[in-house]
Amino acid sequence: MKTIYILLFLSMNALLELIFLIGYPILRLILPFYQYTESIKRMPLRDNHPILIHAASVGEINAVVPLIKELIKHKQSILINTFTVSGKDRAKELFPKLEVRLAPLDLYSLRISQLRAIKPKLILIVETEIWPNLLYAAGNFHIPVIFINARISAKTLSRYLRFGNLLRLISPSVTKVLAQSELDQERLQKLFPIHVENAGNLKYCLNLPAYDTSQVRSNYMFNEDDFIIVWGSSRPREEELIVSYLPLLRKSIPNLRLILAPRHPKRSSDIARLLKDYDYVSYSEINQKRSRAEIVLIDTLGHLTEAYSISDISIVGGSFYDFGGHNPLEPAFYGKCIIMGEYYSSCRDSVQELLKAGAIILSSRENLPEIIIDLYRRNDLRDSMGQKARLVLKKNATALSNHMRGIMPCLK
């Protein structure tokens, strides 16, 4: 039976290689339009034996940021592979000094070429992206593989179990599986013959700066009794939405101050035109003008977390129109009352955890002013939500140390 499985796998590989060979000229023409040519190109040779981190897309990259930072602290050389262009862009944005590349297509010839070129000492696969030829090639080169922050749905597990015997044969290099939760541990244990550990979810292990909030308020020219709403990572139309509600909000919140932090600061000039009839100042001009404004537009990178730290209400953008939503865990880290819109597909797990804890409110575009005014009047509710948000993070606080404890023996 074992021989039959391997023969089937090798036969399928041979067929895929033939299709790739025949279609190669067409791929060379098509892939540049999708910025995907790198997936079929040979990787440059390396001699520093990096840790190869394989993450599919933006969500997986965001989840393992704390781990990557910790590995960098331990002087580890790292190469990041992503399956999507958006994931590659996000990794480059977060780690401009690291090498980030698109992963090769999962063909045996390309995987062998990849591993020969970079000679990784360890492969970390984020969540449960099972690429058969990556695992098979790693086994042939005796490179240990660890699944980190691993999770799997019941539906995906059912699909993988159909090929469970083959998976075990082609993945002898999988030395550890570090699961996100107890449920993921139970499911993954059915798939892998080795012990699966519940290590916790890395995305909750934030290590953000601590701020002197009085000083930050002063920097923004705000008073201690100002009521500050921060709209973080705003996307197109969201700035227009909140600005349209300002007259209504001012009637109930006389000391209202608004900080707009667009996801992409290069949009700041467009947003400035929207604000031309309002009392606003760009963050980059506060020190020059030293003027107290109703609205501060953050037009440079690196100031979102300090804005969250002084907020009374944090609104997380990309969620009131269909952009998938952005990370609500940053305001949670600072114990803030959080509002999000109804579109949060890219951070669904985080939002669900916060919802279960009563630490976040989901709002439609129409109900937003009503929710803001109610929270303004209920200081106790805002405080309670902030405390619950911190507890969600605290629950998974050991995930980073658990993962490092699992990884470090493979680096010695």
Q: Token pair for residue 20?
A: 């790739």
The reply to whether 170 and 228 lie within a common domain is no
Same-domain pairing of 386 and 401: no
Residue 144 has pLDDT above 70, yes or no: yes
The reply to whether 387 and 406 lie within a common domain is no
Q: Is residue 3 part of a domain?
A: no
**Does residue 2 form part of some domain?**
no
145 and 225, same domain (yes or no): no
Query: Do 43 and 143 belong together in one domain?
Result: yes
Residue 296 has pLDDT above 80, yes or no: yes
Range(s) of the domain holding residue 100:
34-205+397-411
Greater confidence (291 vs 347) lies with 347
pLDDT of residue 411: 87
Strands lying side by side in the sheet with 337-340: 280-282, 295-297, 256-262, 227-234, 313-316, 337-340, 360-362
pLDDT digit string (tens) for 183-234? 999 999 999 989 999 999 998 998 889 999 999 999 999 999 999 999 999 9
Which residues make beta-bridge pairs with 230?
Answer: 259, 314
The answer to whether residues 229 and 374 belong to one domain is: yes
Position 290 scores a pLDDT of 67
Q: How many domains does the chain have?
A: 2
pLDDT tens per residue, range 358-395: 999 999 999 999 999 999 999 999 999 999 999 999 98
| CATH number, domain containing residue 241 | 3.40.50.2000
Q: Is the dihedral of CA 88, 92, 318, 400 positive or negative?
A: positive
Give a yes or no: residue 20 inside a domain.
no
Q: Is there a single domain that holds both residue 341 and residue 271?
A: yes
Flag whether 338 is in a domain. yes
Q: CA angle, corner 12, sides to 4 and 82, nearest 5?
A: 120
Instruction: Supply the CATH number for residue 401's domain.
Output: 3.40.50.11720
Look at residue 410 and tell me whether its pLDDT is greater than 70.
yes
| Phi/psi of residue 292, nearest 5 degrees | -85, 120
**What value does the mean pLDDT of the chain take?**
93
**pLDDT per residue over 99-122, tens digit each?**
999 999 999 999 999 999 999 999
pLDDT at residue 1 tops 70: no
Same domain, 196 and 229: no
**pLDDT tens per residue across span 310-355:** 999 999 999 999 998 998 999 999 999 999 999 998 788 889 999 9
Q: Is the pLDDT of residue 300 over 70?
A: yes
Give the pTM. Answer: 0.77
Q: Are 226 and 373 in the same domain?
A: yes
Residues 180 and 42 in one domain: yes
Residues sharing a CB contact under 8 Å with residue 198, sequence separation 6 or more, in sequence order: 179, 180, 181, 182, 184, 185
Q: Do 162 and 220 belong together in one domain? A: no
